[in-house]
A and B are shown apart, each in its own frame.
Chain A
Amino acid sequence: MAKSDAKVLAKLLKAETKGKLKQSPTDTVKEAGGSDELAAFFARLSDDQIETLFMTCGEMTKMGITGKVDDATVCFL
């Protein structure tokens, strides 16, 4: 993913963008300044995946988890 896409993701993963991402993912990502690659990625997500992704973002906000985790190691099996 392009480095600039990290900032675009922060813009996209906001509650007010969810409906637009479902309806016209490519245009929404491009309008936010995202790369073609990011637009293609979102275009491949189903509505249910977008819903679940936003649910996760909501949980992260509630738990005070922000930003990207550099080390993706997960401490479970």
Chain B
Amino acid sequence: MSDTSVSTGESAHLRRTLELALPLLVVTGRRLWEHPRIRDLYPEYLVATHGVIRASVPLMERALERAQALDDPAAAGLAEYLEHHLDEERGHDDWLLEDLEVLGRSRDEVLARAPSASVAALVGAQYYWIEHYHPVALLGYIGLLEGYPPTIADVDALMTRTGYEREAFRTLIRHAELDPLHRDDFDEMLDRLPLSPEQSAVIGLSGLYSINAFTRVIVDILEQAA
């Protein structure tokens, strides 16, 4: 099922697709950030986020390897993008561990905890698509995770609600500053990528799936407070 007469750019199409499902994640995220017990829940949110972000570079490295081994134009474009973007994402899991240390959670304690099933489901689906279909699927995940960062005002409000010091929010602040730039780079790259209809579809599917799966990660945290 495809309409070849449609000329809307790939990034605009992806954004429109994601934004139909995004209220699920936006509202669930707000329920967490505005929760009366957010002071207790914020460290848990950082731990869960660390579980996700620790996999970002390994996912991209694997997608890069797969893309380099494939012989199609989209894979070549993907590899070029990932070679550049990998370095931009390196070390972000350490930022989270540093923020958690400010909150009194040691690295050893955080790293000893098994990531939840919902974190594994979110990240694990990407490994599946990369390994068994096409690494271009990862772009739906990246487009979501880097496409809708919190604003500095959001982070300031969270700081006030939790009462924690600014040093515990460095990851969020850096992402609020950097992700809008990464989003622009991403959209430009996506619009240049010579995707087949099937590759375009799996990118959208990966993004939509990730909205559902990331919502589950947040719901798990909210349920801890219930």
Q: Contact: A48 with B201, CB < 8 Å?
A: yes
Q: Which of B75-83, B185-193, B208-216 contacts A (4 or more CB under 8 A)?
A: B208-216
Residue interface bits B56-96, CB-to-A below 8 A is 1, else 0: 00000000000000000000000000000000000010000
Answer whether residue B162 sits at the interface, using C-beta atoms and an 8 A cutoff.
no
Q: Which residues of B from 7 to 42 have beta carbons under 8 Å from A?
A: 8, 13, 16-17, 19-30, 32-33
| CA A75 to CA B32, docked complex, whole Å | 9
Rounded to whole angstroms, the CA-CA distance of A12 and B192 in the bound complex is: 31
Q: Pick the contact of A41 from B16, B52, B148, B214 — CB < 8 Å?
A: B16
CB-CB under 8 A from A9, the residues of chain B are 20
Check B55 for interface membership: any CB of A closer than 8 A. no
Q: Would you call the interface of chain B mostly helix, strand, loop, or mixed?
A: helix
Bound complex: CA of A54 vs CA of B53, how far in Å? Answer: 28
Alpha-carbon separation in the docked complex, A9 to B21 (Å): 12
Is B2 in the interface zone, CB < 8 Å from A? yes
CB within 8 Å for A69 and B22 given contacts A44-B13, A56-B208, A77-B53: yes
Interface residues of A in 1-42 (CB under 8 A from B): 1, 9, 13, 22, 25-26, 40-41
Q: B53 contacts which chain A residues (CB < 8 A)?
A: 77
Shortest CB distance B63–A (Å): 18
Contacts of B150 in A (CB 8 A): 73-76
Q: A44: which B residues are within 8 A, CB to CB?
A: 2-3, 6, 8, 13, 200
* In the bound complex, CA of A67 to CA of B25 (Å): 13
**Interface residues on chain A, size class:** 20 to 34
Residues of A within 8 A of B172 (CB): 77
- Whole-angstrom distance from the CB of B122 to the nearest CB of chain A? 11
B residues in contact with A1, CB < 8 Å: 16
* A63: B residues at CB distance < 8 A: 24, 27-28
Asked if B23 and A65 make an inter-chain contact with CB atoms under 8 angstroms apart, the answer reads yes
Given contacts A44-B3, A60-B24, A68-B23, contact A76 B201 (CB under 8 A): no
B149 engages A77 (CB within 8 Å)? yes
Verify A72–B26 contact, CB threshold 8 A: yes
Using A43-B1, A77-B52 as known contacts, say yes or no to A49 and B149 having CB atoms under 8 A apart: no
